[in-house]
């Protein structure tokens, strides 16, 4: 391959793929905004910050393509001088990975109720973030691509830690969720979807990180490490947003964990009709009871005005004989409402 194939060509492939992933993530952000999730404020702020970071980083690498392809069209040696979006990619990837790992760590806390595991994951994620930011600052000081070899140890440490933290989170989530299977088809389907999402988060980002590290160590004078290094941030946010958006579907599936055989469906129809008839009877009897109460009240008013009224004994007999069905219906309606909550 020629010089432009391993430099500008490899770089443009990474930028094009990153832009494609950014389009998908932007659709996910819009879907999250239009779907009314009852998320706490910190999750909504997290999503908004990731959207801003993704937008700025994607715009910056497009600007880098403009600098190399247009501004330095007649100066191919400019490809040997890193532009500021290159080191910023390291910082953006570190921050995005930290936010994603912190969210998944919180999910581990909710599942395991173990503060020790949560703090361990948070400590590893924070350490990886610090090393990544330091790595970005050191790469920012590089003037020529040949000098990148000097930061090889810290870049290797950072990418290995990223893969290690992602693998740890994936392993913990897979282990905890696998032990939560109930034997019911729908609930196990929900758990399998959660396990798949956890594996995707660690698998895809790990593959891109490993490939970026391999090309960085084997071919530091080319831009193949940028082909896989630039889109890592979008891989993190894509898997995270997919996890957030899938909750609506999973909740609906989880609510249907009670399975009904087709042979029993006719009995459910008959039960529904019986309940409907009882509700109508309850409504009718309640109206009758209400009318009788008004008649009794009118009699009381008439008694105050000097009009003859039924004796207390006869009133008690009348109310006792006629109000008992309504009282029974009232108790039935009360239990019916309690069961419907």
Phi, psi torsion values for 72, nearest 5 degrees = -115, 40
pLDDT of the residue at 255: 65
What's the burial of 252, exposed, middle or buried (CB within 10 Å: 0-12/13-18/19+)?
Answer: exposed
pLDDT(241) > 70 = yes
pLDDT of the residue at 283: 45
Q: What pTM value is reported for the model?
A: 0.72
pLDDT of the residue at 122: 95
Q: What is the mean pLDDT of the chain?
A: 78
Q: How confident is the model at residue 69 (pLDDT cuts 50, 70, 90)?
A: very high
Q: Per-residue pLDDT tens for 180-214? A: 777 777 777 878 888 888 888 788 899 999 999 99
Rounded Cα distance, 129 and 271, in Å: 59
Nearest to 211 by CA among 225, 199, 197: 225
Task: Give residue limits of the domains in the chain.
Answer: 3-255, 262-340
Query: Higher-confidence residue: 254 or 101?
Result: 101
Nearest to 122 by CA among 138, 99, 139: 99
Residue 118 makes CB contacts below 8 A (sequence gap 6+) with 105, 106, 108, 109, 112
Rounded Cα distance, 61 and 51, in Å: 16
Nearest to 7 by CA among 235, 233, 219, 231: 219
pLDDT(272) > 80 = no
Q: How confident is the model at residue 149 (pLDDT cuts 50, 70, 90)?
A: confident
CATH architecture of 3-255: Up-down Bundle (1.20)
Q: How confident is the model at residue 293 (pLDDT cuts 50, 70, 90)?
A: very low
Q: How confident is the model at residue 256 (pLDDT cuts 50, 70, 90)?
A: low
Q: Per-residue pLDDT tens for 85-139? A: 999 999 999 999 999 999 999 989 998 899 999 999 999 999 999 999 999 999 9
Q: Per-residue pLDDT tens for 303-318? A: 444 444 445 455 444 4
């Amino acid at each position: 391959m020629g010089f432009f194939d391993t430099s500008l060509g490899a770089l443009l492939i990474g930028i094009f793929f990153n832009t494609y992933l950014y389009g998908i993530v932007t659709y996910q952000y819009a879907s999250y905004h239009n779907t009314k999730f009852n998320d706490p404020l910190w999750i909504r702020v997290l999503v908004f910050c990731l959207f801003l970071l993704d937008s700025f980083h994607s715009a910056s690498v497009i600007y880098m393509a403009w600098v190399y392809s247009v501004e330095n069209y007649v100066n191919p040696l400019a490809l040997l001088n890193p532009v500021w979006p290159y080191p910023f990619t390291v910082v953006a990837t570190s921050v995005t990975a930290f936010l994603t790992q912190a969210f998944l760590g919180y999910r581990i806390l909710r599942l395991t109720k173990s503060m020790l595991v949560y703090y361990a994951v948070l400590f590893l994620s924070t350490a990886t973030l610090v090393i990544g930011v330091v790595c970005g600052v050191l790469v920012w000081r590089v003037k020529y691509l040949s000098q990148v070899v000097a930061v090889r140890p810290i870049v290797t440490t950072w990418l290995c830690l990223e893969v290690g933290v992602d693998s740890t989170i994936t392993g913990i989530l897979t282990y905890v969720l696998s032990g939560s299977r109930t034997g019911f088809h729908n609930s196990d389907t929900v758990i399998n979807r959660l396990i798949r999402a956890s594996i995707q988060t660690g698998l895809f980002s790990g593959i891109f990180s490993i490939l970026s590290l391999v090309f960085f160590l084997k071919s530091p004078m080319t831009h193949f490490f940028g082909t896989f290094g630039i889109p890592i941030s979008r891989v993190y946010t894509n898997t995270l947003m997919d996890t957030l958006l899938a909750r609506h579907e999973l909740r609906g599936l989880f609510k249907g964990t009670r399975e009904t055989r087709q042979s029993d469906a006719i009995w459910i129809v008959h039960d529904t009709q019986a309940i409907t008839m009882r509700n109508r009877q309850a409504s009718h009897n309640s109206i009758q009871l209400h009318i009788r109460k008004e008649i009794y009240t009118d009699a009381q008013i008439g008694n105050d005005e000097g009009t003859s009224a039924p004796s207390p004994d006869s009133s008690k007999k009348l109310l006792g004989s006629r109000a008992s069905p309504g009282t029974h219906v009232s108790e039935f309606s009360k239990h019916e409402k309690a069961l419907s909550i």
